[in-house]
Structure 1
Amino acid sequence: MFAQCQRFNDVNVHAGAIVGWQQIYDQMSAGSAHTELVHLTAERFQVFREVLDKRVVQHGAAPKGRLCLAMPVGGSSANVFQGTTIGGADVTVLHSGQEFFVHSTEGMDLLAVSVDAARLGLLAEREFTAPELRKLNRCTRLNVSPQFLCGIRKQLQSIVSAVVQGDELLESQIEDLLLECTLVLLEQVCEPGSRRSGNVAVSAYLVRQAHQMAMEFLDEPLSILQICDHLDVSRSTLQRSFLSVTGLRPVAYLRLVRLNAVRQRLQQTRADEFTIARVAYDLGFSHLGHFSGAYRHLFDEAPSHTHRAQ
């Protein structure tokens, strides 16, 4: 896995730097090009953001074995994808090896993610009904609310930024986060009313089991998709269960569980035995600044003010 931020003065050299894509970029407006590419690339996933200051025709084929989603960033102008104008809240979809033809305007700012199609397919079979899967397999564009899309973009960009800044994230963790984001976006294709309502007893059982699993794997936190695999439920079922029982999404709830575990371990150990940074890292918090902010928000005190054993 590697992450890079690169700048180019040739749009086709820029295109060639995006690993795994068979594509050509033709510059269609005059002047020296100035482009930027920030990308995170691994064996089974990729996230990249590209900014082009020239009008460009992009043509080629998506990577085989991947599902690819692309979304505009900020106020970038509308582009034409496969003969259709793409608006600011549209997400384009490219399936494995699918050819594409895009007319991008000057100032194009695009964020794209690709994930392993086979693994996504297995998760989707648990997540969606057969008619929904057929619809998804034909889908080339998702139209979502600007607010919703903004939230997804922030999640994707935060993943890339964390790796670029040197945060120690496992490839498996990143892959699961990207698969979750992809599933959330694909849900937008399906009718909102098609999801089954949950049983309170079942929901409470799933939350309890997830809580126990989180406690068993405090030193290497499980992703939501890993928990779903263990419990043999879909991501949306787990999400609904947590919201109905706790009022929180699973990620937020399980982060609070780990913060409480940090506090309890701090209270049970001496400062000269285990530093705050060591305890936080051992319990899955790799970014000390983010951890300290979350700890202070939850307990209304800094970790350094928590009473330690004597």
Structure 2
Amino acid sequence: MAMFAQMKSFDDVHLHAGAIVGWQQTYDQLSTGPVQTVLKHVTGERFQIFQESLNKRVVQHGVAPPGRLCLAMPKCGGELAVFQGKSLGTESVTLLHSGQEFFVQAAEGMDLLAITVEATRLENLAAREFSDSEMRRLARLSRLELRQQVLQTVRKRLEDVVTAALQNRFLPEHLLEDLTLECMLDLLDHRVEGDTGRAGNHMVSAYLVKQSQELALAHNDEPISVLQLCERLNVSRRTLQRSFQSVTGLRPVEYLRSVRLNAARRRLRQTCANQVTVARIASDFGFTHLGHFSGYYKALFGEHPSETPRH
């Protein structure tokens, strides 16, 4: 299935429910009056993000997609939503495991942001993050209670992913999938009590940064994600993030983006404007949005790419 992103409005909750790909579910309207709903979704082969806004009270009943883990963050007005018979607060996150039945009473004005990821890949990544006992505990969870600031930060990241996908249908699917997985791992990570991380060894950290940089430059046209680096180097995100912080003072994403920007700058200086365009060079180094590339470039080098001297 090719990835696609869509935003659509509905005046019927049944049509809305049926538009969420991969879900077996029914929606029943409870409060009176005309329904106006909005659905935004990004659906790929192994992940999905959808955001739904409902102006009426709705009962949602169905079964979670097989082979997936689903995590949902409801944002309600005055009335609380109810999940599996229990009220959801402003700091609540719900989890549905593969094929699990669900029953939700959505409050009027509820805005729900949900993500689903392939369970097997998430489990493989989580095994690097959590201990065996933590993994067993997470496998039984049906809801998380997290700090509101954590939820707001992760929610904003996911909303930005949806917006980017709606604006640019050529974004690499694997990068959007990995951003979704990272958000889910971050939420699960904040749920786990106690940090089991070890103090990093500087030589190991420097080696991981060097290997990451080589992998990043080997995939110029399709930027490698943090999760892909973790899989290639067989390390946890905690270890990789600590390594970059101690060696470079930057997060992996920031550092590797700067590496690609520098490579793009070298290409600009080595070529003529009538030989290759700025847009082509940006694309060659994995920047699919020319405006974003120009903004990152100016922030790093103090000039727009069009202002860089060329042959």
The interval holding the TM-score normalised by the smaller chain is over 0.9
The aligned runs of 1:42-121 (5 Å cut-off) are: 42-73=44-75, 77-121=79-123
Deviations 1:97-133 (A, max 9, x none): 1111111110010111000011111111222110010
Cα 1:121–1:29 change in 2 (3 A) is same
- What residue number does 1:188 align with? 190
User: Secondary structure of the equivalent of 1:192?
Assistant: coil
User: Secondary structure of the equivalent of 2:73?
Assistant: strand
- What residue number does 2:165 align with? 163
Instruction: For residue 2 of structure 1, report the CA deviation from its aligned partner.
Output: 1.5
Tell me the amino acid that sits aligned with residue 188 of structure 2.
L
User: Secondary structure of the equivalent of 2:195?
Assistant: helix
> Partners in 1 of 2:203 and 2:194 — Cα distance?
23
The aligned runs of 1:105-184 (5 Å cut-off) are: 105-184=107-186
Greater Cα shift, 41-50 or 69-78: 69-78
- What residue number does 2:210 align with? 208
- What residue number does 1:221 align with? 223
Identity %: 59
User: Secondary structure of the equivalent of 1:23?
Assistant: strand
Deviations 1:259-288 (A, max 9, x none): 111111111111111111111110110000
> Partners in 2 of 1:8 and 1:189 — Cα distance?
35
User: Secondary structure of the equivalent of 2:51?
Assistant: strand
Q: TM-score, normalised to structure 2's length?
A: 0.95
Tell me the amino acid that sits aligned with residue 192 of structure 2.
C
The aligned runs of 1:242-261 (5 Å cut-off) are: 242-261=244-263
Cα 1:167–1:306 change in 2 (3 A) is farther
| Aligned 8 A contact 2:76 2:109 in 1 | no
Tell me the amino acid that sits aligned with residue 28 of structure 1.
L
How many residue pairs end up in the alignment? Answer: 309
Q: Which runs of 4+ in 1 moved over 4 A?
A: 73-77
> Partners in 1 of 2:55 and 2:281 — Cα distance?
46
- What residue number does 1:278 align with? 280
> Partners in 1 of 2:282 and 2:254 — Cα distance?
17
Deviations 1:149-201 (A, max 9, x none): 22212221222222221341222222122112111111112123322222222
| Aligned 8 A contact 1:76 1:108 in 2 | no
- What residue number does 1:262 align with? 264
Deviations 1:226-281 (A, max 9, x none): 11121111122111211222221111111111111111111111111111111111
Cα 1:144–1:247 change in 2 (3 A) is farther
User: Secondary structure of the equivalent of 1:152?
Assistant: helix
| Aligned 8 A contact 1:142 1:188 in 2 | no
Q: TM-score, normalised to structure 1's length?
A: 0.95
Tell me the amino acid that sits aligned with residue 301 of structure 2.
F
Instruction: For residue 50 of structure 1, report the CA deviation from its aligned partner.
Output: 0.3
Tell me the amino acid that sits aligned with residue 122 of structure 2.
L
| Matching of residue 294 in structure 1 with residue 299 in structure 2 | no
RMSD: 1.5
Deviations 1:57-98 (A, max 9, x none): 111111111000111348575311112221222211111111
> Partners in 1 of 2:299 and 2:92 — Cα distance?
35
